[in-house]
Amino acid sequence: DQQVKQNSPSLSVQEGRISILNCDYTNSMFDYFLWYKKYPAEGPTFLISISSIKDKNEDGRFTVFLNKSAKHLSLHIVPSQPGDSAVYFCAAKYSGAGSYQLTFGKGTKLSVIP
């Protein structure tokens, strides 16, 4: 049972435009969400995170939005650059005390076309 879902396996965007990557979750016990970027032959790289008590977090070109009622979050990249081409993973953490494991989605491959 996939508790974190990224329903779009791939996304193509023109350079300079906005990239929007979506993530849905089913477990209301998740209280912290993270986005990771992964290039081939490398480990995932932390991008940005958001606590469940917030609805938006911004860091440079990257903004994450959280809609708790819809159990949905999205990552916006503006403007998109060719170097952003990678696989993006959404991850979530349980709220249980002492629980630090992350549950990942399957990823979305972003291609930014020059």
Partner 1 sequence: DTGVSQNPRHKITKRGQNVTFRCDPISEHNRLYWYRQTLGQGPEFLTYFQNEAQLEKSRLLSDRFSAERPKGSFSTLEIQRTEQGDSAMYLCASSLNWGTADSYEQYFGPGTRLTVT
Contacts to partner 1 from residues 85-104, by CB under 8 A: 89, 91, 93, 98-104
**Least Å distance between CB 26 and partner 1?**
15
User: What is the amino acid identity at position 57?
Assistant: N
**Least Å distance between CB 17 and partner 1?**
26
Count CB-CB contacts under 10 A for residue 72: 14
User: What is the amino acid identity at position 76?
Assistant: H
**Is 49 one of the binding residues for partner 1 (CB under 8 A)?**
yes
Determine the Cα–Cα distance for residues 30 and 4; give it in Å rounded to an integer: 10
- Give counts: helices (H), strands (E), the chain: 0, 11
Query: Which residue number, 40 or 114, has a Cβ lying nearer to partner 1?
Result: 40
**Is 30 one of the binding residues for partner 1 (CB under 8 A)?**
no
**Is 37 one of the binding residues for partner 1 (CB under 8 A)?**
no
- Of positions 46, 55, 56, 82, contacts partner 1 by CB under 8 A: 46
Contacts of 28 (CB under 8 A, 6+ apart): 71
In the chain, the N- to C-terminal Cα span, in Å, equals 37
**Is 45 one of the binding residues for partner 1 (CB under 8 A)?**
yes
What residue ranges bind partner 1 (CB under 8 A)? Answer: 4, 32, 34, 36, 41-46, 49, 89, 91, 93, 98-107
